[in-house]
Each structure stands twice: as C-alpha cells, then as structure tokens.
Amino acid sequence: GEAVWLRAGILGVALIVLSHLAAAGCFIGALLLWWRMASGELSQRVSLLAKEDLSAHSPSEVAGLAAFTGPTQWPEVLRQLRELVASVVQELEDAEQAQASAEIRARRARAERDRLAVILAGLPDPLLVINDYEEIVLANLSAASVFGVDVQQFGSETQVKIDQALECPTAVKLLKDVVRRKTLTQRTAEFSWRDGFGHERWYRVICRNLDVAADSSNGMRGAVAIFNDITVQKAIQRRNAEFVSSVSHEMKTPLSGIKAYVELLVDGDAETPEEREECLEVINGQTERLQRLIDNILNLARIESGVVDVRKDRHSLNEILEEVHGILAPQAEQKDIDFQLELSPMYLGVIADRDLLMQAAINLASNAIKYTPVGGRVVLRSRLAAQEVCFEVEDTGVGLSEEDCRRVFDKFYRVKKDQEMAAGTGLGLPLAKYIIEDVHGGRLEVRSALNVGSTFSAILPGAGAMSE
C-alpha cells in the first residue's frame, strides 16, 4: 500500500511541474516532461515499489528498489525527481539556445537577402538571370524599365521564357548559347535597342553561366546577363570617326591644289613669269589654308583636353571688343563692309581669359565678314543683360536655315550653299562655342533668317557693371 501511495505522489509532483512549465510558456519543456511520463521512465522505479513479490524481478531491478526502502525513501524519490526536472530544464535551455541561434541565422539570411535586393534594385545596368530551362528567374528594376519585362511574375510557379520576355534576338541567342555550355563560358556582344520613346540606344551584354559542375546539387544551373549602356561611347566613336574623315577631307583639298600647281612648275607648263607667279600665289594660299586648319585643330584639341593654361582675371569686355574691331577692320574694308562698333556706355566686367575670349570674338566677327556680301553691314556690340554681360555680332549676310542653325556649331560643318563664298575649315564656330560655354560658363546662341542675316550672341557671367 505504501508503494502505491509513493507512486501516486511522484506522479502528482510531476503533474504539478508539468502545469507550471505550461503556465510559464515553456511548452518544449512541458512536452519533454510529458514524454518522459508517457514513456514510463519517470514511473519505472515507482512501479517496482508497488510490486510485493521481489523474486519476480531481475537483480538490477531489485537493486534499484534499495533506494526506496526504509524510512528515507521519500528524500530519494524527490532527489531523483529533482534530477529529472534538472535534465528537462537543461534540455529546454539547449533547445531554446538552438532556437535562438536558428532565429539569428534566419535574420541574417533575411538581412542579406534584403541587402542584395536593394543592391540589385539600385544597379543602373539591367540584369537578367535564367535557369537551365531558359526561363527568367530574376530581373532587376533597370531590366524592367529598359526591356519592359515584368519582375512581379518571376519566382512564381509559371516562369517566362527568355525569348518571350525579351524582344532582342542578339541577347536571347547569346543567353541560350551560354546556358547550354558544359564548361565555364563568358560571352560578350553589342546590340542596338530602341527604348519606349523611340530613341536608339546601344548596349554591351556580358553573359556567363552560373554552375557547370556535373555533380552539383546545391547550385542553380543557368546564366546571368548584365547589360551596359554604351550609347555615349558609341556616339564618341562615331564623332571621332567623323572627325578623322572631315580632317582628311579638309586636308586633302589644299594638298591636292598644292600638288597640282607644283607639278605645273616642275613640268615647265608655266612658261611665262606671270603664270609662274600665279602658281606660286595659289600654292601660298593653299598652304595658309592648311596652316589655319592645323592651327584650329590643335587649338580645339588643346582646349578640350585641358592642355591650354586658362588664366582668368577681371577684364573690361568693351576693351576686348575694341581690340577685336581694330584687328578685323582691314578685312572688312577689303569687302567694302560697314563694320560698326556699338559698345555699352556701362563698364562691363568679365572674369575671363583675355586671349581666349578675344579668339572667340574674332572667330564670330570674322565669320560674319566672310559671309556678308560686298557692301553689307556687320555690327559688333556689347550690352548688359540683367546679371550677365553680352556681346553680339550681327550681320546682313546670307543667313542660315533652321537646320543650319542647329548644326552650325558642329565640327567641320559648313553650309553647302555658301561654301563657294569663302574658304573655311568648319572649326571657327565650334571653337568659339567651346571657349564661351565650356571655358567661361556662358552661352552662345544664334538667330538667323535666310537672305536677311544672322546674330550670334555670347552671354557671359557678369563681374560687375558701372557707368564709365
């Protein structure tokens, strides 16, 4: 009877501990203790105490009963129960520690995923990832905006084929070729693409397969493609090619003239002194033209590359324009052109490189004189424009069309209808524009009408104005 009461007491204490664990929210510990009770581990020795016939048990079981016989059996039972609860608590702490470690790893994984998502979203270059079934599994926002792919549909059960989402045969063919390779492969190609506004853009796509190991089970097979926008580089290459072509053409013309007249002299076809003098004059003129071309090219290249030492200081715009007028007055007189100087009565100060600014003004005024018919008028004026200063060159020349106004500052561009009117290199106006805008932070504008005339306005930041 005493063993029965002892067993009931142990089970009661266990139930009390179980209820406390559950009430405290320690469900894992409660489950562990309940499992111990259900499996019989807790009541094993109590069951032995309830048996009256000890001869039916093995010697080890009988030895276990020794701790429960006599008047000290309750302290021993409580000790064993305390050890059991301590082991459950230890297991509970281990489980909680493992759970905390798992949660930390999960948080780190989520943070890493979010960080990569932010990086991908912030990439200015489009990025696409396809699997070995040629389905898009990842695309950043740049790819969505450039190629119109829907990033929301990736990751769903139904993936989209690359040739359905991307209407670019060059990129699609490159991705498919790379993903089918069994060895590590990287391919590059360039292609043009018209964006949603109809503008042509150039891209260089770099493709590389992700996992080529035959026994790989953890990595994802597929390919990744990064699209670099090279529109600016292509434009620079095209301009450089046009520049070389234009320089070659401009240099070929005077060289051909020099060569032809030299041959006349060598062959003795210029028999009279007058003919020889004429040949020499042509050669001298073509040589000067070639010299002007080379000088303009070198000046433009030096300024654009920053080789020219720009020395800015405070100067009077009117004094610079007065000197320009004095330099070009003889040229205007040869064509019977009324070359007027209209200067503002105000002191117009500018922070400028005096030589470069004078070169720009000379180019503008000289261009006006060249393309103004005999008996015309050219005006070089200065004025104050709010917080800026301005000098203008107005002429009564042949004028420009709207297309010519848009292209007149391009290197080597010359109006076709006026090429017979005066010799030129097509670099004077581009050089003036670069000096005004890039060197001095101003603006160079043109207004023109065919057969009426043109006005070139150079607007510069002012450095103070006062009455002279």
List the 222-229 sheet strands across, edge first: 160-161, 135-139, 127-131, 222-229, 200-209, 186-194
**Average pLDDT score over residue span 37-44:** 50
Considering the domain boundaries, does residue 333 fall inside one? yes
Confidence of residue 212 (pLDDT cuts 50, 70, 90): low
Q: How far apart are CA 1 and CA 240, in angstroms?
A: 109
pLDDT for the residue numbered 394: 92
CB 382 within 8 A of CB 397: no
Q: Is residue 410's pLDDT more than 50?
A: yes
Least confident of 18-27, 127-136, 154-163, 281-290: 18-27
- Residue 102: left if φ>0, alpha if ψ -120 to 50, beta else—which one? alpha
On the question of pLDDT at 360 being above 80, the answer is yes
Verify that 128 and 109 share a domain, yes or no: no
Has residue 35 been placed in a domain? yes
Neighbours of 115 (CB within 10 A): 10
Indicate whether 198 and 254 sit together in one domain: no
Q: What is the mean pLDDT of residues 114-124?
A: 80
* Whether pLDDT at 426 is above 90: no
Return the residue matching tokens 């094993």. Answer: 44
CA distance 344 to 66: 124
pLDDT at 69: 45
List Cα–Cα distances, 357 to 157, 392, 393, 436, in angstroms: 67, 13, 14, 7
pLDDT band at 71 (very low <50, low <70, confident <90, very high): very low
In a domain, 455, yes or no: yes
User: Exposure string (b/e) for 318-334, b if CB count within 10 Å is 16 or more?
Assistant: bebbeebbeebeeebee
What number of other Cβ atoms are within 10 A of residue 259's Cβ? Answer: 11
Indicate the residue among 305, 340, 361 that finishes a domain. Answer: 305
pLDDT of 436-465, one tens digit each?
998 888 999 999 888 888 999 999 987 754
Residue 214 in this model has a pLDDT that exceeds 50: no
Spatial distance between the Cα atoms of 88 and 101, rounded to a whole number of angstroms? 20
List Cβ neighbours of 281 (8 Å cut-off, separation of 6 or more): none
**Which pLDDT score, from 0 to 100, does residue 380 have?**
92
**Position 393 pLDDT exceeds 90:** yes
Quick one: 161 and 238 in the same domain? no
- Give the residues across from 128 on adjacent strands: 139, 225
181 and 81 housed in the same domain: no
> What pLDDT band is residue 10 in, cutting at 50, 70 and 90?
low
In a domain, 118, yes or no: no
In a domain, 28, yes or no: yes
Of 231, 164, 235, 141, residue with least CA distance to 191: 231
Q: Name residue 68's amino acid.
A: F
From the CA atom positions of the chain, what is the Rg in Å?
A: 46
Model confidence at 411, pLDDT cuts 50, 70, 90, reads: confident
User: Stretch 37-60: mean pLDDT, rounded?
Assistant: 48
Q: What is the pLDDT of residue 117?
A: 77
Amino acid sitting at position 72: T
Chosen domain end from 208, 229, 250? 229
Residues 64 and 33 in one domain: yes
The pLDDT value given to residue 294: 82
State the Cα–Cα distance between residues 126 and 148, nearest whole angstrom: 11
User: Residue 50 — very low, low, confident or very high, per pLDDT cuts 50/70/90?
Assistant: very low
Mean local confidence (pLDDT), 358-386: 89
**Residue 379 clears pLDDT 90, i.e. is over it:** yes
Q: What span, in angstroms and rounded, lies between the C-alpha atoms of 146 and 143?
A: 5
The percentage of residues in the chain with a pLDDT greater than 90, rounded to a whole number, is: 11
In Å, how far from its chain's centre is CA 74?
A: 80
Q: Which of 62, 80, 113 is the last residue of a domain?
A: 113
Same domain, 224 and 240: no
Nearest to 205 by CA among 184, 191, 185: 191
Same domain, 48 and 75: yes
Element of type H or E holding 202 = strand 200-209
Same domain, 58 and 188: no
> In this predicted structure, which of 59-63, 81-85, 363-367 has the lowest mean pLDDT?
59-63
Residues 61 and 145 in one domain: no
What average pLDDT is seen over the chain? 76
Is 248 found in the same domain as 145? no
Q: With respect to residue 209, please indicate whether it lies within any of the assigned structural domains.
A: yes
pLDDT of residue 235 exceeding 80: yes
Rounded (10°) CA dihedral 223, 224, 225, 226? -160
Tell me the mean pLDDT in the region 373-399: 89
Which CATH number does the domain housing residue 299 bear?
1.10.287.130
Task: Pick the closest to residue 265 from 276, 250, 252 (CA basis).
Answer: 276
Q: Is 89 a residue whose pLDDT tops 80? A: no
CATH number, residue 436:
3.30.565.10
Which pLDDT belongs to residue 67?
45
In a domain, 60, yes or no: yes
- Total structural domains within the chain: 4
Is residue 239 domain-resident? yes
Statement to judge: residues 201 and 68 lie in one domain = no
Full domain range(s) for residue 101: 2-113
The band of 65, judged by pLDDT with boundaries at 50, 70 and 90, is: very low
Do 261 and 399 fall within a single domain? no
